[in-house]
Amino acid sequence: MSEVTFADVVAAKQRIDHLVHKTPVLSSHLLNNWLGHEIYFKAECLQKIGAFKIRGASNFLAKRHEANELPKKVVANSSGNHAQAVALAASSFHIPATIYTTENISSVKAAATAYYGAEVLKFANRTLADRAVQEAAETPETAWIPPFNHADIIAGQGTAALEALQEIPDITGIFAPVGGGGLLSGTLLATRELASNAEVIGCEPFNANDVAKSLRAGSIQSLNGPPKTLADGAATPCCGELTFPIIQQTDGFYEIAEIELVYWTQWLQHLLKLHVEPTSAMAMAGVARWLKTKNTPQKVMVMLSGGNISESSMRQIWEKDYLQTVPSLLD
């Protein structure tokens, strides 16, 4: 079914080891005590560019470098973490990168992308940016690095779970947020091999539940328009032809309400002292739901995807006080 295998994840790990951080796995005594389970967090928010995305982009280029087939130029369309990932990965291989984005890209993300040496071209809307990157990709010796639907991207993202499961054995459940499905797909490939008894579970915003709908329909479904969710890393309109069949092999899938993901963003920032983005905290909301179905102590790994949060998201996250109600599985 899948064109990507565990061996690809292992190869990716060797290939990108010197290009990315081995991020720490953290836990909270207080949280474990309250919930009565062991919960571990793979802190990809402390990864270079502040998100796991650098793993996939680095693997994409490192594999071409290995084959002596490095492109002369790379292009990508993104206004988020993928833009920074492509910019930094390209700079590691001394290749010029151009990012096609929209005029409403946040100034801080544009500045970071430019800092990594990429040219940032802004278009009036996403359709125009997508058209421009497509044209640019037709230039000879130019590589268009996709955000998730590519074997080398999936294998690269899988290295985060590979590291986490090598560090913490005997996990019974592993949770990842889902946008296009690159992280969840890579996580599944690593987990089936390293913790074969563990359940692999995806989490998506209820307000951007294209993958949940796709799983129910048995075919890829798309969002009708831009979704209203604070989990902006999971707002992707649909998953890909490569990620979908892998996602179909997962053991569970949760659609998370905005209030749940805000609650867990506050609590994870407070307990872990990390600037965790709502997309990551969403996975912990799935953990809390899942644990309510279990009668025996579980050992869970949560893939904290990143920590890039806009000021307006931070303002919305901290509007109300959810720290008053201590996490519990009793309600």
Residues forming the site for a copy of itself (CB under 8 A):
29-30, 33, 45-46, 50, 106-108, 111-112, 115, 266, 269-270, 272-275, 307, 309-312, 314-315, 317-324, 326
Q: Which is nearer to a copy of itself, 97 or 211 (CB)?
A: 97
CB atoms within 10 A of CB 64: 17
CB atoms within 10 A of CB 17: 13
CA–CA separation, 229 and 238 (whole Å): 15
Min separation Cβ 24 and a copy of itself, Å: 8
Min separation Cβ 269 and a copy of itself, Å: 5
Min separation Cβ 247 and a copy of itself, Å: 27
201 neighbors 225 (Cβ within 8 angstroms): no
The H or E element that residue 269 is part of is helix 258-272
Min separation Cβ 226 and a copy of itself, Å: 21
96 neighbors 136 (Cβ within 8 angstroms): no
Q: Which is nearer to a copy of itself, 112 or 145 (CB)?
A: 112
Min separation Cβ 198 and a copy of itself, Å: 27
Furthest CA-CA distance within the chain: 60
Min separation Cβ 314 and a copy of itself, Å: 4
Min separation Cβ 289 and a copy of itself, Å: 22
Q: Which of 63-67's residues contact partners 24+ apart within 8 Å by CB, and which partners?
A: 63/12, 63/15, 63/152, 64/143, 65/93, 66/15
Min separation Cβ 106 and a copy of itself, Å: 8
The separation between CA 81 and the C-alpha centre of its own chain, rounded to angstroms, equals: 9
- Contacts of residue 207, Cβ cutoff 8 Å, sequence gap at least 6: 227, 228, 229, 258
The separation between CA 262 and the C-alpha centre of its own chain, rounded to angstroms, equals: 18
Helix, strand or coil for residue 194?
A: helix
**Paired strand residues for 216:** none
195 neighbors 165 (Cβ within 8 angstroms): yes
Q: Which is nearer to a copy of itself, 164 or 190 (CB)?
A: 164
Helix, strand or coil for residue 253?
A: strand
Q: Which is nearer to a copy of itself, 55 or 63 (CB)?
A: 55
CB atoms within 10 A of CB 18: 9
Q: Which is nearer to a copy of itself, 99 or 309 (CB)?
A: 309
Min separation Cβ 194 and a copy of itself, Å: 26
Q: In terms of Cα–Cα distance, which of 141, 54, 133 is closest to 95?
A: 141
